[in-house]
């Protein structure tokens, strides 16, 4: 698969050179990441490799997610989460719970987010 050329490089490089980002920069990148993950979730795709090395910047400074090797398309209404440990690999299944608005008496549904309940 080919990906467009992103001349900004990795977010990791900028973070390593800066040591830490200003609050406004953190808010900007957090909003960009949240927007990208929200879009993927709307397509029933779970991105499972979020780290600064997988966040590339375009010429305008906007982020793009890369490395979808661990991404997973959800086929049903449950999340399968792989928990890795050095000695063994475990898989646990959690139900997706529909969140409700507690302030609303009729418990109007807000959205279908993945809720991890053990």
**Token code pair at residue 118:** 């053990």
The model carries a pTM of 0.61
Per residue in 52-84, pLDDT (tens digit) is 999 999 999 999 999 988 999 888 655 555 555
**Token code pair at residue 15:** 């973070």
Higher pLDDT, 33 or 105: 33
- In terms of residues, how long is the chain? 118
Q: How far is CA 67 from the centre of its chain?
A: 12
Known catalytic membership, residue 76: no
Bridge partner list, 94: 79
CA distances from 27 to 9, 31, 79 (A): 19, 6, 28
As a whole number of angstroms, the distance between CA 51 and CA 46 comes to 14
Catalytic entry in 23, 38, 49, 101: 49
Q: Report all structural domains of the chain as residue ranges with CATH numbers, in order of start.
A: 9-65 (1.10.510.10), 76-111 (no CATH)
As a whole number of angstroms, the distance between CA 101 and CA 98 comes to 10
């Amino acid at each position: 698969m080919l990906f467009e050329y992103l001349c900004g490089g990795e977010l990791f490089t900028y973070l390593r050179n800066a040591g830490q980002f200003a609050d406004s920069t953190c808010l900007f990148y957090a909003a960009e990441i949240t927007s990208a993950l929200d879009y993927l979730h709307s397509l029933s795709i779970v991105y499972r490799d979020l780290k600064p090395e997988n966040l590339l910047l375009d010429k305008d400074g906007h982020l793009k997610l890369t490395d979808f090797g661990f991404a997973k398309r959800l086929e049903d209404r449950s999340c399968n989460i792989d928990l890795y440990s050095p000695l063994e690999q475990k898989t646990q299944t959690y139900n997706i719970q529909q969140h409700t608005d507690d302030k609303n008496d009729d418990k109007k549904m807000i959205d279908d987010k993945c809720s991890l309940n053990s």
